[in-house]
């Protein structure tokens, strides 16, 4: 059986070696190789240049899109496909490709591209008085499209053989892409090789300084891993250990990070590494967003909640009084590695309560994920690594897809707040530390589903199904016990509030959710009897 789960698409500008390297990768992997332009010519019965002359670039791109979609929609075994330089310029096509395949963009300098293409008369897009200016123009126009790949590789000065080996390794890792323009990155879900994968990520960023942010609990369990990672970076490094717990996710927690960065001499080419749970990754991301007006950071979440939610998506923040995540920024990481082996040391309460975020994610966008949790409860509760990898990949894929389509929460990304509006209020009312975030979200989900049923949005069968599942997993569902009516008084602090109205997310079905703004007083009145 092949070690590769999806096709490998090799993209990038003409002259970057896509076909040459692609053939080597396919031969070493023992799979088929296909050059998209060659296959298009075969099916059309005309050369690429002739298609351009007869149908223009628009006609050629239409043929190209149709062919690639058909290749990615089939059930053929994974293979290597070398793309034309403009095959993924259309964003819908690009997002489809990122979901169905592993996409790697190859690059090279303008001078290197011109050297490789010298004397090639088959490139209609290079018909220009000044080819160098034309190459630069096209590279600038396509930069964001090429950035939205699982990985980017510079081929300048590299041998085809060495590039093929690197591509094989990236293909095996089967990453999940968060397509966010120039801020795109990928998420890897693995079991047992965090050190290798995170070390590779750090090396690829060529940092001048590395600073790890963690907390004392995580460091007690994984301090040796942290030390090895920092030592392997071979640049000046430092560590900041935070006080664990949501109650410490405050502006005050940033001061020791900034002070250490100052003493270390951290500049804009430095990298911050967040090794820990959601509090750590939230604070690390916010520190990265604000130090020197923005430095790169990597996420290595150590808890189920952080892997499912906090470490992916670029929302970074700290709490301010009762207002959760009130001070923050959108700042995407340069990469995230989720190693389920770290979950073996997570305390039961945190692990179990994070399953509410898994169920929320399934409700938003993956009916098969919900079935998996229902069917495999015993294995998930036992932390079976194979099940955890599958569950997490599905969770990350849902969130990555939403973030790719709406990185700044101007529309669809609001769906990720299902259960959070009242959940945050319940968490704040109880006092941070009394309920875990996941326990509060379990209660928030119950409240949102019951309110949706009352308003005619959510079928009662779905509400009962989710409540039953939460109970089976040992999560709280008793709203009266957690004083929802009094907790709802804190909705006025919700950062999604607009005047006297607050945004709610409702579920019509699994995978079918929507937002609606409700009057605060109406919600607070409904909370009395949910």
Q: Which pLDDT belongs to residue 492?
A: 67
Mean pLDDT of 30-35: 96
Mean pLDDT of 373-385: 98
- When the pLDDT of each residue in the chain is averaged and rounded to a whole number, the result is 92
Question: Quick one: fold of 407-526?
Answer: Dehydroquinate synthase-like, alpha domain (1.20.1090)
Q: Which among 506, 446, 504, 450 has a CA at the least distance from the CA of 478?
A: 446
**Residues 6+ positions from 133 with CB-CB distance below 8 Å:** none
Structure confidence at residue 125 as a pLDDT band (50, 70, 90) = low
Q: Which pLDDT belongs to residue 410?
A: 87
The mean-pLDDT minimum among 34-38, 58-62, 353-357, 518-522 falls in 518-522
Q: Which pLDDT belongs to residue 521?
A: 83
CATH number belonging to domain 8-174:
3.40.50.300
1 has a pLDDT exceeding 60:
no
Q: Which among 83, 71, 75 has a CA at the least distance from the CA of 22?
A: 83
CATH of 186-346, one of 3.30.930.10, 3.40.50.1970, 3.55.40.20, 3.50.50.60: 3.40.50.1970
Q: How far is CA 266 from CA 227, 270, 295, 341, in A?
A: 18, 6, 9, 31
Q: Domain ranges in the chain?
A: 8-174, 186-346, 407-526
Q: Which pLDDT belongs to residue 488?
A: 77
Compute the distance between CA of residue 284 and CA of residue 211 in angstroms, rounded to an integer: 10
**Relative orientation angle of helices 437-454 and 348-365, to the nearest 10 degrees:** 30
In this structure, the number of other CB atoms found within 10 A of the CB of residue 391 comes to: 26
Compute the distance between CA of residue 94 and CA of residue 11 in angstroms, rounded to an integer: 11
Are both 8-174 and 186-346 of the same fold?
A: yes
Structure confidence at residue 16 as a pLDDT band (50, 70, 90) = very high
Compute the distance between CA of residue 136 and CA of residue 186 in angstroms, rounded to an integer: 27
Structure confidence at residue 129 as a pLDDT band (50, 70, 90) = low
18 has a pLDDT exceeding 90:
yes
Q: Considering the chain, what percentage of its residues have pLDDT values greater than 90?
A: 76
| Prediction pTM value | 0.89
382: β partners: none
- Phi and psi of 275, rounded to 5°? -115, 100
Q: Considering the chain, what percentage of its residues have pLDDT values greater than 70?
A: 96
**Residue 43 and residue 90 in contact, taking contact as beta carbons nearer than 8 Å:** no
Neighbour order of strands in the sheet with 185-190: 176-178, 185-190, 335-339, 296-301, 271-276, 210-215, 237-242
Of residues 130 and 400, more confidence is placed in 400
Compute the distance between CA of residue 440 and CA of residue 420 in angstroms, rounded to an integer: 8
Structure confidence at residue 118 as a pLDDT band (50, 70, 90) = confident
Distance of CA 211 to the CA centre of its chain: 22
363 has a pLDDT exceeding 80:
yes
Q: How far is CA 8 from CA 80, 312, 331, in A?
A: 5, 23, 28
Q: How far is CA 470 from CA 231, 444, 453, in A?
A: 43, 12, 17
The per-residue pLDDT for range 464-509, each reduced to its tens digit, is: 999 999 999 999 999 888 788 787 777 766 667 767 888 999 999 9
The per-residue pLDDT for range 383-395, each reduced to its tens digit, is: 999 999 999 999 9
Continuous segment of H or E residues that includes residue 176: strand 176-178
Q: Where are the beta strands (DSSP E) in 22-75?
A: 33-35
**Residue 340 and residue 385 in contact, taking contact as beta carbons nearer than 8 Å:** yes
Compute the distance between CA of residue 198 and CA of residue 322 in angstroms, rounded to an integer: 35
Structure confidence at residue 2 as a pLDDT band (50, 70, 90) = low
The per-residue pLDDT for range 187-203, each reduced to its tens digit, is: 999 999 999 999 999 99
Structure confidence at residue 444 as a pLDDT band (50, 70, 90) = very high
Structure confidence at residue 321 as a pLDDT band (50, 70, 90) = confident
271 has a pLDDT exceeding 70:
yes
**Residue 503 and residue 513 in contact, taking contact as beta carbons nearer than 8 Å:** no
Of residues 429 and 288, more confidence is placed in 288
518: β partners: 502
């Amino acid at each position: 059986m092949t070690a590769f789960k999806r096709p490998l698409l090799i993209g990038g500008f003409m002259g970057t070696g896509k076909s040459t390297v692609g053939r080597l990768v396919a031969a070493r992997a023992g799979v088929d190789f296909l050059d998209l332009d060659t296959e298009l010519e075969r099916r059309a019965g005309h050369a690429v240049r002739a298609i351009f002359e007869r149908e223009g670039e628009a006609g050629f791109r239409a043929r190209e899109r149709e062919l690639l979609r058909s290749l990615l929609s089939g059930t053929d075994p994974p293979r290597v496909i070398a793309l034309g330089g403009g095959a993924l310029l259309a964003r819908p096509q690009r997002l489809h490709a990122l979901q169905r395949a592993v996409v790697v963009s190859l690059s090279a300098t303008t001078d290197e591209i011109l050297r490789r293409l010298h004397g090639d008369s088959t490139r209609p897009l290079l018909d220009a008085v000044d080819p160098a200016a034309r190459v630069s123009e096209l590279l600038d126009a396509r930069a964001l499209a090429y950035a939205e790949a699982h990985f980017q590789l510079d081929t300048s000065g590299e041998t085809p053989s060495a590039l093929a080996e690197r591509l094989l390794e990236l293909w095996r890792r089967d990453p999940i892409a968060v397509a966010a323009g120039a801020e795109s990155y990928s998420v890897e879900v693995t079991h047992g090789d965090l050190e290798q994968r995170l070390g590779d990520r750090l090396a690829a960023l060529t940092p001048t300084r590395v600073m790890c942010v963690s907390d004392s609990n995580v460091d007690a369990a994984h301090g040796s891993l942290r030390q090895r990672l920092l030592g392997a970076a071979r640049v000046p490094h430092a560590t900041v250990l935070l006080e664990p717990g949501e109650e410490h996710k405050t502006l005050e927690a940033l001061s020791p990070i900034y002070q250490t960065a100052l003493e270390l001499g951290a500049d804009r080419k430095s990298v911050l590494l967040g090794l820990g749970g959601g509090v750590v990754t939230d604070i690390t991301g916010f520190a990265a967003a604000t130090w020197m007006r923005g430095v790169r950071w990597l996420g290595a979440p150590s808890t189920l909640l952080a892997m499912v939610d906090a470490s992916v998506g670029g929302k970074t923040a700290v709490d301010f009084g009762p207002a959760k995540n009130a001070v923050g920024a959108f700042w995407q990481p340069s990469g995230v590695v989720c190693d389920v082996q770290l979950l073996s040391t997570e305390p039961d309460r945190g692990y179990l309560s994070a399953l509410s975020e898994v169920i929320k994610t399934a409700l938003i966008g993956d009916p098969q994920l919900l079935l998996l949790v229902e069917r495999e409860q015993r294995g998930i509760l036992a932390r079976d690594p194979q099940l955890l990898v599958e569950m997490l990949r599905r969770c990350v894929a849902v969130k990555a897809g939403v973030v790719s389509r709406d990185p700044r929460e101007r529309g669809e990304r609001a769906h990720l707040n299902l259960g959070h509006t009242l959940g945050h209020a319940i968490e704040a009312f109880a006092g941070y530390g009394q309920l875990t975030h996941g326990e509060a979200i379990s209660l928030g989900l119950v409240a949102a589903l019951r309110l949706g049923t009352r308003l005619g949005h959510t079928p009662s069968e779905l509400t009962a199904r989710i409540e039953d599942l939460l109970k089976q997993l040992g999560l709280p569902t008793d709203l009266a016990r957690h004083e929802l009516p009094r907790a709802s008084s804190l909705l006025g602090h919700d950062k999604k509030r607009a005047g006297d109205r607050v945004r709610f997310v409702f579920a019509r079905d699994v995978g079918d959710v929507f937002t609606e703004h409700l009057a605060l007083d109406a919600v607070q009145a409904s909370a009395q009897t949910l």
